[in-house]
Amino acid sequence: MAEILPIKAWRYQDKYAKEMELLTAPLFDVVSEKQRELLYKNPLNSIHLAVPKGPNPATNAKKTLSQWKTKGILCQDQKPGIYVYYQYFRLQGEHQERCRKGFMAHIKAYDWEEGKILRHENTIVSAVNDRIDLLKATEIQASPTHGLYEDLDNQLEAFMDEAMQNPIYEIEDYQGVREVLALIDEPNKIKKFISVLKDKPVILADGHHRLEGAIAYKNENKEQLPGQNWKGSDYHLMYLTNTVGNHLKILPTHRLFRDLNLNKTDFLEKLGGWFELKKFHDQEELGAYAFHKPWSYGLVIGEESFLMELKSDKINAYSSNYPELIKKLDLAVLHEVVFDQILGMNLEQQRSSDMIKYERNFSRCIHEVQQGKASFAVITRELELNQVMEVCKSGYVMPQKSTYFYPKALGGLLFASINQKEFEFDYGVFLK
């Protein structure tokens, strides 16, 4: 069902191979402001293409890209390839190393309605517009989205393991994750990757805004190059991992809310109409609390913290804007009850509001509230992969920022151009 193609990747010139730890960049929304500023100080860091700064960021990225190509800082591989990408990591408190195995390739930017790439969460409008502007200006993708496919027989793993015997890069990223990149450029092996994916839908794990931007860009250019078999504007860079036999971990994303127009007493009283509120002894310990019950959360407000559990008779007591499959998920309840019913912000307003901030780092949640930068924080628990897949296959979507697949794919390991002159190749050799 999903059409993929190998990539004629742009990569940092070979002389920079030993500096890749300084040139790659995590996704913008998973690092602190201080970490971002450190990345921006390096004039060759890939963040200048992925998330450019300045009054005209997209134009700045276009100028930077042109300079890097002219100076030979970035060079394009002449043969298309599948880029095998392994991430070795440990979760907090674990000693055994995990490995998430996958590969990067071009994938068609299918419209959601086609049902070939399945999404599971809503997007934030402003973030999509930024991605469209950047794609128009640069015609290059600096960081992959993350997609999941189901292959019970693990048909591709042997090819990937073999490629990993001769890696291009092996670095340690900002979180201590060991990132390893390798290349498969033999046509017969590439054919196998294309063949396996052509019968499978892809579940979008991460990168909804970037993919939605790519879809919009494709549709704007659909009248261009009539009769062209492979148009660069139709494709998108994706990191693909098998849901079977892989180390897929979903971490929670917490909610911060600022500019609350209720005083603390009134807000807690309104929450008490829906939730059992239990005073928690120590804010700093709330992040380690195991939320075993459904519809349970942590609340940090002022100097106090609470456990919130939806009252047993309330799950069917409200008129939900979500379909039944979504209605009873923790985050759907949170967004519907707290942000809509109590704070009067409907789902569409939530998508575009700058009053809600999404934060995976528990300590930063505490800091934001204690410093008065946020009125309160709601601490959430993680989703299960089977829940995400159920939602995707249903065609419905969950609230924005519902999942945090860990670890995130790293940007700057390679760049995928959709400029037609740089994309051009007889891809039919991989389809025969």
| Residue tagged 């930068």 (tokens) | 373
How many of the other CB atoms lie within 10 Å of CB of 137? 18
pLDDT for position 271: 96
**Would the pTM of this model clear 0.75, i.e. be above it?**
yes
**pLDDT band with cut points at 50, 70 and 90 for residue 122:** low
pLDDT, the chain, mean: 89
Q: Nearest-CA neighbor of 221 among 142, 135, 147, 117?
A: 135
- pLDDT tens-digit map of 290-340: 788 889 999 999 999 999 999 988 887 766 666 677 777 888 888 889 999
In the chain, where are the structural domains located?
A: 4-250+406-430, 253-381
Residues composing the chain: 432
Residue 125 has pLDDT above 60, yes or no: no
**pLDDT band with cut points at 50, 70 and 90 for residue 386:** confident
Which runs of consecutive H residues, i.e. helices, occur in 295-384? Answer: 324-327, 330-333, 347-352, 362-370
**pLDDT band with cut points at 50, 70 and 90 for residue 170:** very high
| Residue tagged 């807690």 (tokens) | 268
- pLDDT tens-digit map of 85-103: 999 998 776 778 889 999 9
Instruction: Name, in order, each residue with C-beta under 8 angstroms of 14's C-beta and a sequence gap of 6 or more.
Output: 75
- Percent above pLDDT 70 for the chain: 93
Greater model confidence, 327 or 132? 132
pLDDT for position 285: 85
DSSP track, 51-110: S--SSSHHHHHHHHHHHHHHTTSEEE-SS-BEEEEEEEE--TT--SPEEEEEEEEEEE--
Instruction: Name, in order, each residue with C-beta under 8 angstroms of 154's C-beta and a sequence gap of 6 or more.
Output: 242, 244, 245
Q: Which helix (H) or strand (E) holds 215?
A: helix 208-220
Topology at the third CATH level for domain 253-381: 3.30.1760
Hey, which residues does 279 pair with through a beta bridge? 306
